[in-house]
Structure 1
């Protein structure tokens, strides 16, 4: 089968590189050309446009949000270029509403659509160790499973409707962001009594939350006040919390913690921290020590 990959940002670049191990033709497209050339040097073929990258049996996209994906699929001609019977696998974190729109638009053209957002940061993507959350028709997942196995350590299946995978991913990110908020608040409490935040978080991540990569990784970043370079920008965290709240509202889900953490994310962005790592959310509780980045 021929494969296309659109969106070679921090995550997509590593994911596409791992797909090259399939030994099948891989067409790649990205707005910026540097990651394209890096992958061409590894054996990929450069597409001149999103439409050219989409003339394949299986198209993977890993773009920033709903708007970026819509621009590539519609304005860039990717959806119109896909042949009937092809499969589009959207691996980005997008809204459940957009997932419904995409499912309908693809079905009208006789194209399969799967949602397969991922769990993991850039280094995990490069190592091919992502956790992949997939939803959509089972027979389509079976067809692309060999490619998921190249990019991830496990595929978690969550239903026959693509929006279900997006709801799961938004729930995961909401839990992650609330965990960062909790670490910031709890270490601020200990700090008010003279306990260094690093010492408190060392206790927390080696007792109650031992073995948790979220608490371990982000706890270390918060304790060291190490907020750059960003593996996952704070602005993207704000985007995901907003999407989670949008998904919760029509279902009558009370997401009180999500509402509170969104307010802190908004303040962080207003204060100029949007391009820092999501761990910088903790600064809202801890304050910004002199000389901290």
Structure 2
């Protein structure tokens, strides 16, 4: 299949590489050229303008946020210049308001939009073991299912409305960040009474919280490992903000999300925005006066 791929960050570059390995023709565009050059060596075709990616059967975008997505896909004229019938797989975490805007823009351009946000860090993107929620026209989803099977271990159907997949991603990211904050606070409490962080993590990840969120981030917090971010504090702040904004029009109170927002905002203000999300749990320990 001929695929245009826009956005080769920590997640996108591994995803594009897997599509190449599966034998697809992949046309790549990215703002910085390092990842482009790496993928060209693997057989990808480099593009000079994001609009060129829309000269394909399917376009996949994996971009940081609303503003970047709007700039690259809409303001650049890329979407408007696409051929009718094209399928666009939007795989990033975007706001409710912007997903609605995207639905209208795609309908005007005659492009079929599928929201397909991914769940997992960059190591799972590289190994093709992501979980992917999908929502959009069912016939279009059926056509791109072979691509989704390359990129992820399982596809989770969420219906016809792209917003369904988008809000699922926002809500689960909020839950993940909540788990990290709670782990850090609990670790601070147990450490203050003499329980080793490693013993605490071994126990919780083998009993009550034997789930990836705790198994990945618990050891990182215990080791105070905040570098080499797969998911940064800055992105966490963005995602918690998306949850709070999504809750307002439907009058859904999210009091703990407000706490998370303030803790993340504090960390970013202190220069930790590019640290791994585990830094949120580490800060909970430091607030208790412990190292």
TM-score higher than 0.5: yes
For residues 243 and 198 of structure 1, what CA distance do their matches in structure 2 show? 33
For residues 35 and 133 of structure 1, what CA distance do their matches in structure 2 show? 26
Q: Is the Cα contact below 8 Å between 1:57 and 1:83 reproduced in 2? A: no
Q: Is the Cα contact below 8 Å between 2:60 and 2:90 reproduced in 1? A: yes
Q: Is the Cα contact below 8 Å between 2:94 and 2:166 reproduced in 1? A: yes
For residues 200 and 25 of structure 2, what CA distance do their matches in structure 1 show? 51
For residues 39 and 262 of structure 1, what CA distance do their matches in structure 2 show? 36
* Structure 2 gaps, min length 5: none
Range moving further from structure 2, 70-79 or 238-247: 70-79
Q: Is the Cα contact below 8 Å between 2:188 and 2:288 reproduced in 1? A: no
> Does 1:152 pair with 2:152?
yes
For residues 227 and 106 of structure 2, what CA distance do their matches in structure 1 show? 39
* Structure 1 gaps, min length 5: none
Relative distance call for 1:141 and 1:106 in structure 2 (3 A) is same
Q: C-alpha deviations, 1:34-76, integer Å up to 9, x for none?
A: 1111111111111111011221111000000000000111233
| Cα offset, 1:238, TM superposition | 0.5
| 2:195 partner SS | coil
For residues 77 and 25 of structure 1, what CA distance do their matches in structure 2 show? 23
| 1:73 partner SS | helix
| Cα offset, 1:288, TM superposition | 7.3
For residues 286 and 70 of structure 1, what CA distance do their matches in structure 2 show? 38
Q: Which residue matches 1:186?
A: 186
Q: Which residue matches 1:26?
A: 26
Q: C-alpha deviations, 1:187-222, integer Å up to 9, x for none?
A: 111122222333222221122112x11101100000
Q: Which residue matches 2:170?
A: 170
| Cα offset, 1:289, TM superposition | 10
Q: Which residue matches 2:212?
A: 213
RMSD: 1.5
Q: Which residue matches 1:278?
A: 277
TM-score by length of 1: 0.95
Q: How many residues align?
A: 290
For residues 26 and 244 of structure 2, what CA distance do their matches in structure 1 show? 37
Q: Which residue matches 1:10?
A: 10
TM-score by length of 2: 0.96
For residues 120 and 272 of structure 2, what CA distance do their matches in structure 1 show? 22
Range moving further from structure 2, 142-151 or 14-23: 14-23
